[in-house]
Amino acid sequence: MAYFNDAIFWVEVERIKPNPFQPRKNFDEASLASLAESIRSYGVLQPLTVTRKEIERPGEGIAVEYELIAGERRLRAAKLAGVANVPVVIRSGEDDDRMKLELAIIENLQREDLNPIDRALAFKRLVDEFGLKHIEVGKRVGKSREYVSNSLRMLALPKEMQDALGAGEISEGHTRPLLMLMDRPEEQRTLFTEITTRKLNVRDAEQLARRITPERTRKADLTPELLLLERELTDTLGTRVRIEKKNEGGKVLIDFFSVDDLAHIRKIFSQHAPSENSIDQHAPEKEVPVAESPELEPAEGEKETSNEPSRPPRLGEAGQGQEAEGDLYSIRNFSV
């Protein structure tokens, strides 16, 4: 990060405009008053970060404007303390709007000054206004793609619950059981009331949510092997995966909350897709005439009298109108 002359300058507080992309909306008045008292005694110990722009105004000549990038809390406290000038470092070059937003987010994240909803709204602006993918947002703010995606999911909660989260009345962990009940609004509101009035911890809230959802009844129908597979798929894909077993076969349901999530899931499937030339070396070979096999069709140009051993059907190659028995992992059973 380059700064003008690598020096600290003193600038009048009234000449510094706030950052229009500041993601932080709430500033605790008591905390600001405490910081203002400290500034009266010791001054501003850490410089603010600003940009400098020269503007030509008719009849006034060239005027210099400063726009805040980082340090709005210090600027507000300095004004409360009655300080006329504050130390600043000036970023050299022109910063576009996205860079201003990124810098403001990063500064707040490093100080842990953003509440979860302000953070999610800031990520949403990077996605919606600047077209960044979740993984790109994560790289810019030093977080994982899952961290960004999980933050954005909180914006699916009703406004009342978002406000409670922003005000610290519920924790970020409480959003997980609430999001489990998105398709059950009445039960979701009841759980929210229980959390806020009875001060439930996250674990108790999750247990209540599971009692409401049919997960426990559904899991009773699954074998230990399928439960393990469900857990492994959830960990691998980074989103909730549910296996529903039927009398014959079943289906896999994969939750996603955005196109970016779906693209990430598709990428994982592509990375783990078997090679066309891969053959199970340990599978026993059987001499089965192609014409007698109801599941396989002869390859184009292949003679029906070929004595070559038949290969096992690849993923999704079960015969038309007949589902391969036990073919739980057929791509047709995947439902997103």
- Closest to 52 (Cα-Cα) out of 109, 106, 7: 7
Are the C-beta atoms of 88 and 18 separated by less than 8 Å? no
The CA distance from 176 to 161, in Å, is 12
CA distances to 14, 95, 138, 180 from 69, rounded to whole Å, are: 15, 10, 20, 38
Mapped onto helix, strand or coil, the DSSP state of residue 165 is helix
The CA distance from 290 to 299, in Å, is 10
Strand partners, 12: 85
Angle between helices 116-130 and 97-111 (to 10 degrees): 160
Q: Active-site residue among 12, 56, 67, 72?
A: 72
Does the active-site annotation cover 325?
A: no
Rg over CA atoms, the chain: 29
The CA distance from 51 to 92, in Å, is 7
- Kindly state the DSSP code that residue 51 receives in the 8-state scheme: E
Catalytic positions, written as ranges: 72
